Amino acid sequence: MFMVTGGAGFVGSHIVSALNARGTSDILVVDDLTRGEKFKNLATCQIADYLDKRDLFDALDSLETPLTAILHQGACTDTLESDGRYLMENNFTFSKRLLAYAQREQIPFIYASSASIYGKEGRFLPEAPNERPVNAYGYSKLAFDQYVRARIDRLQGTVVGLRYFNVFGPREALKGRMASMVYQVFRQVREGGVARLFEGTDGFEDGEQRRDFVFVNDVVEANLFFAEGPARRGIYNLGSGVSHSFNDLARLVIARLGAGSIEYIPFPAGLEPCYQSLTEADLTSLREAGFAREMTSLAVGIEDCLQAWAPEISATEGVGSSS
């Protein structure tokens, strides 16, 4: 049985769907459905069991079916969250306890890390000199990466951290302000005809800040590649390997929707010190680990998303803002 933590979330529910597509429904989803509308991400999926994350550790020793792999996607992903204790409880301590269980039971453990770890350095090799997070969220992710890295020579079986860059795709509507810039621009243009981009920062001109946008299907495939393959241990970047400016993104969306314009808005006061104006994954170590999949281009990914996003927006009106 596969365990997917955060299984009702964006990436987690796509992993569940992908396992279903491979003929697997023996899946344990772990999540927190306090926000009940998250059920929509799993409504078309087949699972064998569900646990609230608060009940997980009490239930682990009495699971009916042995676990095949743990795909740990659950986390607080709000980059603007200021409660450091909350972030460390969710993103560090919870992960540490789950890793200890995986090691004890010899279960492959694949977890979601984050490109926010790199901060504003502009260097994206997964090495300590490049890791300078500029917010508490990024630090909580780095702390667990450091915990894994300090024990890497003593760990058994597969233990893999995947540093997600800017993931986008269907089922983002419930992410609110943490939805990808791709989704936010699509929604802005579709609803108001205008893509609102930030004025220049960190030496970048208006709208020229750059992001590595990685399609969610590629992220799913990387998770399953490591979960199902031979034992590997390491921390790898997971992006497309190519960055695009926000202007490029807006033009792609406007061209596809057939109308729209770009407006530049002032940068929010106080945000610039903890804002990444550039992300671009170095995929060298990921390729060396054997993940050879050709990453989906931004244009193709947007095309795949458009039909899914329109009904998602309609279904979640009033649930939360995407900007």
What DSSP designation does 278 have?
Answer: B
CB count within 10 Å of CB 134 equals: 19
- Cα–Cα distance list, 85 to 34, 76, 81, 122, 172 (Å): 20, 11, 10, 28, 26
Query: Of 111, 118, 137, 236, which one is the catalytic site residue?
Result: 137
Contact call for residues 143 and 128 (beta carbons, < 8 A): no
| C-alpha span between 282 and 123 (Å, rounded) | 9
- Output phi, psi for 243, to 5 deg: -105, 150
Q: Are 199 and 268 in contact (CB under 8 A)?
A: no
The amino acid that residue 259 corresponds to is: A
Task: Report helix, strand or coil for 164.
Answer: strand
The two tokens of residue 97 are 């306890």
Q: Give the span between the Cα atoms of 28 and 175, in whole angstroms.
A: 22
Straight-line distance from the first to the last Cα atom of the chain, in angstroms, rounded to the nearest whole number: 37
The question of whether 175 is a catalytic residue gets the answer: yes
Tokens coding 38: 């998250």
40, 53, 120, 175: which one is catalytic?
175
The amino acid at 63: L
Residues with catalytic function: 137, 175
